[in-house]
Amino acid sequence: MKVQIEGNLYLESDETQYYLKEYSGKFDKKSGAPLYKILGYYSKPEQAFQKILNILIASSDAETLEQLVKDIKQTREYIKTTLSVKAEGA
C-alpha cells in the first residue's frame, strides 16, 4: 500500500508494518528513484495517524492556548474528513 496523505507525505505498508514517509525532493543518482525521509514505523495505522496529527499541529502558528486548541480541533476534523473521503473513493 502507498497512499498520499498530503503534499509530500505518504503512508506505506508491507506485510508487517506501516511507515510514514516524506518525499525529500531528491533522487537516487544511480537508479533515479525518488528518495524519502522515514518519519516513523508503526504496527497500527492509528499510530501513523497520530504522528500525522502531531506533524500538522507542530506546524501551527498559534500564539495562544485558545488558538492552539482550535488548531488541534480543526486538524483532527481535517484528518477525519480526509480519511472518510479517501475511504469512500477507494
**Binned average pLDDT, 10 residues per bin, the chain of 90 residues:** 87 93 93 94 89 86 94 86 58
Taken as a whole, the chain contains a residue count of 90
Say what the pLDDT of residue 40 is: 95
Say what the pLDDT of residue 38 is: 95
CB 47 within 8 A of CB 54: no
- Which pairing describes strands 9-13 and 34-42: parallel, antiparallel, or unpaired? unpaired
Say what the pLDDT of residue 23 is: 93
Instruction: Please state, in angstroms and rounded to a whole number, the distance separating the CA atoms of residues 31 and 12.
Output: 20
Give the global pTM.
0.70
Say what the pLDDT of residue 86 is: 52
